[in-house]
Structure 1
Amino acid sequence: MATLVSPSPRHSRGLIPSGHLWLPRANLSACLRGTMVRSTVGHPLRDEQRINRFPATPLCSLSWWFEGRSEVLVADRPDTLPGLHSPREDYPGRWVLSGPHTRPSTSYCADPTHAMMVMFMPDALHLLTGLEPEALTNRLVDAQTVLPPDWIAMCEAVQHQPDDAARMDCLEAFLEPRWQACRPTQMLQTQRYGDWAMHLAQRAAVSAPGRSLRQLERRIKRWAGLPLRELRGFGKAEQAFFDTIAADARQGTVRWADVAAGAGYSDQAHLCRVTRRITGYAPQALYEGIYGDEAFWAYRLWV
């Protein structure tokens, strides 16, 4: 079964437990990046604590709500992040499929909510369902309108399981035989974004006739929804994130110039620009938010 990873014990006063991160069983590690489960049931929250901040991501996701519901917060302008008083939109269906996102996103839970987000590698979702991640990029869609019938039956079965462990068992029992039937012969076991982008490029180069740069880029974008350059950018950003956490654990402080150099950025300003584009925040503000703001619970799960 999936492995439950305990959240970091480091929480500032006033923060509730971040939730749980489930890592997939080994034979699904090239298919699933992980599953985030979050419940605010039984926790009193102020209105501003009901906001959820998510970074841009190359992943696709499938989400369930077992109690309560979320709403999308819509920014007034493309260069700003939405806040408590921003316009709200309903999610498009009972179960929601999300494609890769090139911008950070924000949601709001007006009531106590228990939800689960399963994060798929986009090329794996393409192999499993035939869906084109490129057509899902920056979109949220009603899963019942795009997924195959057996997937909808699986969504229904997961919805009615008694607890999170049973939900993960149900999901993985469904995925395992289907992934074994369609997975590539050469798979990458680790799913750090940088390694995955490189592996994807190698697969694209040998998977079909036609090896011009344009043909390779088209193939990668069809599988992953984003161009190779952007996937590599996510790899650098992820490296910077984990380097930040490692530096904090070692010495209790973070030198952003060192993080920038270690992740391959030209300088600290370059790191700042990319971090703002992916998360909406400068590195120091993001760091402070992770350890002091309820809205950043999704980031804390990966810490």
Structure 2
Amino acid sequence: MFSVLRAASGPLAEAVRGFVAVSMLDQPWPPRGAPINRFPAMVYCGVTMITDGEVALLDDGGCPGRIAPHWTVSGPRTRPVASLTLAPLRCVTAILYPDAFRLLTGCEPARLKDRNDAGQAWLPDEWNEWPAALQARASQPDAQIAWMEQWLLCRWLPVRPRWDRNIGTLVRAPAVRKPADAARAIGVSHRQLQRQALAAIGLPPARVHRLQRAEQALGRLAGPRGEGAPLPLARLAADLGFADQPHLTRDICDLTGLPPARLAAAVAHDPDYWVYRLDGGAVAFLQDTG
């Protein structure tokens, strides 16, 4: 299996969280078990092109549902999701910050919340260039990513002056701030922040804060430790402003479907959790290929 997560650079990093290319074409088929792909909840939007294979979205009970479109657009996710690979898969995804996605597409992130729909049903006509361009470069993930970077940069720069950087800090700030702190820093009321966040991000500030803080916690848990010692959950909870360790555990479970200890074991040994092993071992919050 080949997989890579590449961060955007320069001005495009303001709009794009990263690019992911995945290929399972080198794996034996059919596999011994059902090849499941598990993804966490996340604030980001995504645009995915499946160039080979097929996936079916799993319902809340874990049963296969509809076949995912090969050209897919997805919105913020409020719960973990999974898909079932039906044929050897190769795909590429652009993961966009929701406020930048709104400026680039004119689509309201709130309307795409917890949805995975055909790209042509939501995206402006010019985005229809993507399927053919990415299919033509299917065997060259570097070329796919370079093409997406150039295409997006040419469209991000003209809309960048309309980007609200203050609201953008809710999903980009390294130190995730509580909604009340963010409102004070921006100089708006709680009600104004609520309205602006729902419009730009598609989720209320409290939900954004919860998702981003849990992402930060998972990144710290998965990050390199100089002596190989596990980071104590109680200390991590205190560092990130959780009420206590059980609060941290609940949020991670809400984000991923598993408590920290079981998640760590799954990431280490369960192929279903391959997405969590991207980015050099740090937990990456990536868009579902379905």
| Fold match (TM-score > 0.5) | yes
Q: Per-residue deviation at 1:192? A: 6.6
> 1:177 and 2:162 equivalent?
no
TM-score by length of 1: 0.82
Q: Return the alpha-carbon distance in structure 2 between the equivalents of residues 124 and 295 of structure 1.
A: 30
Distance 1:220 1:192, change over 3 A: closer
The letter of the residue matching 1:178 is R
Name whichever of 232-241 and 222-231 sits farther off. 232-241
CA RMSD of aligned residues (A): 2.7
Residue 294 of structure 1 pairs with residue 279 of structure 2:
no
> 1:214: how far off?
2.1
Q: Is the 8 A contact 1:22 1:34 kept in 2?
A: yes
Which residue, out of 14, 22, 25, partners 1:30? 14
Alignment partner of 1:51 is 2:19: no
The counterpart of 1:163, out of the listed 108, 118, 140, is: 140
TM-fit CA distance, 1:156: 2.4
Distance 2:141 2:56 in 1: 22
Task: Quote the offset at 1:196 in angstroms.
Answer: 8.6
Residue matched to 1:3: none
1:95 Cα shift? Answer: 0.5
Distance in 2 separating the partners of 1:228 and 1:295: 31
Deviation at 1:127, TM superposition (A): 0.7
Bigger shift: residues 183-192 or 279-288: 183-192
CA distance in 2, matches of 1:38, 1:250: 32
Q: Which residue of 2 aligns with 1:257?
A: 234
Within 5 Å, give how 1:10-21 maps onto structure 2: 19-21=3-5
Q: Which amino acid aligns with 1:157?
A: A
2:258 — aligned with what? Answer: 281
Equivalent pairs counted in the alignment come to 274
1:133 aligns with 2:109: yes
Of 62, 68, 92 in structure 1, the residue corresponding to residue 47 of structure 2 is: 62
- CA 1:164–1:196: 2 relative to 1, 3 Å: farther
Return the TM-score normalized by structure 2.
0.85
CA distance in 1, matches of 2:75, 2:185: 20
Q: Does 2:101 correspond to 1:117? A: no
Question: Which of 202, 207, 217 is 1:240 aligned to?
Answer: 217
For residues 98-143 of structure 1, the C-alpha deviation after alignment (integer angstroms, 9 at most, x for no partner) is 0000000001112211111211000001011111001111111110
User: What is the match of residue 143 of structure 1?
Assistant: 119
Amino acid at match of 1:123: D
Which 4+ residue blocks in structure 1 deviate beyond 6 angstroms? Answer: 188-192
3-state secondary structure, aligned to 1:103: coil
1:7-60: CA deviations, max 9, x gaps?
xxxxxxxxx55x111111222101110112111112126353611110000000
CA–CA distance in structure 2, aligned partners of residues 135 and 196 of structure 1: 28
User: 3-state DSSP class of the match of 1:106?
Assistant: strand
- More deviation, 261-270/115-124: 261-270
Relative distance call for 1:250 and 1:244 in structure 2 (3 A) is farther
**Aligned pair in 2 of structure 1 residues 34, 191: CA closer, same or farther (>3 Å)?**
farther
Structure 1, residues 221-254: CA drift from partner, whole Å, max 9, x if none?
A: 1110101111111221122112212365533334
CA, structure 1 residues 246+157, in 2 after alignment: closer, same or farther (shift >3 Å)? closer
Q: Mark the runs of 5 or more structure 2 residues left unpaired by the alignment.
A: 283-290
Work out whether 1:39 is the aligned partner of 2:23.
yes
SS in 2 for 1:63: strand
Instruction: Find the aligned partners of 2:264 and 2:103 in 1 and give their Cα distance.
Output: 36
Contact kept in structure 1, 2:170 and 2:177, CA below 8 Å: no
Distance of 1:276 and 1:218 partners within structure 2: 28
1:181 maps to a residue whose letter is P
